[in-house]
Amino acid sequence: MPGSAYFHIPFCVNICHYCDFNKVFLKGQPVDEYLAYMEKEMINTIRKTPFSKLKTIFIGGGTPTALEYEQFETFLNMVNRHFSSDDLDEFTVEANPEQTDRKKLEIMQASGVNRLSIGVQAFQEHLLKELGRTHVKEDVFRTVSEAKAVGIENISLDIMFGLPGQNVDMLKESLQFAFSMDVPHFSAYSLQLEKKTVFYNRAMKGDLLLPEQEVEARMYEVLMEEMHKHGYVQYEISNFARPGYESKHNLQYWNNNEYYGIGAGAHSYVNGKRMANAGPLKKYMALIDETGFPYVHSEKLTASAKMEEELFMGLRKMDGVSDARFRQRYGTSMFTVFGPQIDALLVKGWLKKSGDKVSLTKEGTFLGNEVFQEFIGVV
């Protein structure tokens, strides 16, 4: 049964050059109509699969804070109307600093939002322009300050490394600016070239100068060192937090738990099925009119697929995967199912074993995708 819900607002004032999430330019879009259809999906989803305890809500995009004040308030009221829960621990909204002012923060706080995830990426103006971002450094400081002023202190900043034109010193400078804001959580990702993005197209033309692989690896090492030095614990490959401020919502994913996904392009994992919603707005709304749901793909996971996901999702966490939990879920030991793969990775030094748990070594964190690949298609 789902313990979390994700809501997707696909509208953006501008499109970042690296982003492959489902998004559209805000101007000229049927925003009010889309929100009304989201509510239809909410109602139908809860009617079909009610929840008993909802622990986390996450509103992402796109850019949720691109909505106008009235639209934003209307939408948050919808979410609360259909997904309110006494068990809710965490209610997160993604925000772009240049589109988040005090009034929007006050709307969030009044609606029960208690966590803000701010897209920062870098603090150098030339890097922000290269990324297609439209904020400046001062926007981040203002947004963090105003969020704290209205009572939202659980704040996460997104940082990127391995960017075109970026070097290790620039990353260090960005981190120092970020640490000065005294926030409890960071997500820090290396740039990934995704198809259908500006950066991917430029790379295919040979027009994108990225740091060498060794330099990117050094950036990741510096990131881990600086986070540790400033009191942030790495609890997942790309996430760092002060104790008690880990992202409860993202842990639902990494713990392979079920969740609702509402909105164009959203994904769900409900009753053992993974479902994908239509991305284009017209198709999303048309499917809801036709069937009540916007699904374009639905797959009932086999026991084998669930076990594989348990490993490659769970190993993202520094805490790793517990065999006791694996046995409880699947009635067998992960060492029975994946023994040869685990043994080979232990020998390589990419995994380590402690008690009934296996987890990534420091070397393994640099090679995460190669580690995870070992568990796909095994069973």
Rounded to whole angstroms, the Cα distance separating 327 from 292 reads 37
* 301 close to 272: Cβ distance less than 8 angstroms: yes
pLDDT at 377: 82
Q: What is the pLDDT of residues 170-180, one digit of tens each?
A: 999 999 999 99
Rounded to whole angstroms, the Cα distance separating 10 from 263 reads 8
* 86 close to 65: Cβ distance less than 8 angstroms: no
Burial (Cβ within 10 Å: 0-12, 13-18, ≥19) of residue 199:
buried
pLDDT at 25: 84
- Judged by DSSP in three states, 297 sits in strand
Rounded to whole angstroms, the Cα distance separating 271 from 301 reads 10
Q: Enumerate residues 6+ apart whose C-beta is below 8 A from 367.
A: 350
pLDDT at 114: 97
User: What pTM, to 2 d.p., does this model score?
Assistant: 0.95
CA-to-CA separations, 129 to 10, 122, 123, 172, 240, in angstroms, rounded: 22, 10, 11, 19, 26
Residues of the chain with pLDDT under 70: none
pLDDT at 16: 87
* 308 close to 376: Cβ distance less than 8 angstroms: yes
- Paired with 95 in beta bridges are 118
CA-to-CA separations, 254 to 58, 69, 193, 215, in angstroms, rounded: 15, 33, 23, 28
Q: Which two tokens stand for residue 28?
A: 């000229």
Type of residue numbered 268: S
Rounded to whole angstroms, the Cα distance separating 108 from 99 reads 14
DSSP H helices in the chain = 31-48, 69-83, 102-110, 125-131, 137-149, 168-179, 198-204, 213-229, 248-254, 281-291, 303-314, 323-330, 334-337, 339-348, 362-366, 368-373
Buried b (16+ CB within 10 A) or exposed e, 231-253: ebebbbbbbbbeeebbbbbbbbb
Residue with tokens 């986070």: 227
Which CATH number is 321-373 given? 1.10.10.10
Residue range 4-254 forms a domain whose CATH class is alpha beta
In the chain, where are the structural domains located?
A: 4-254, 321-373
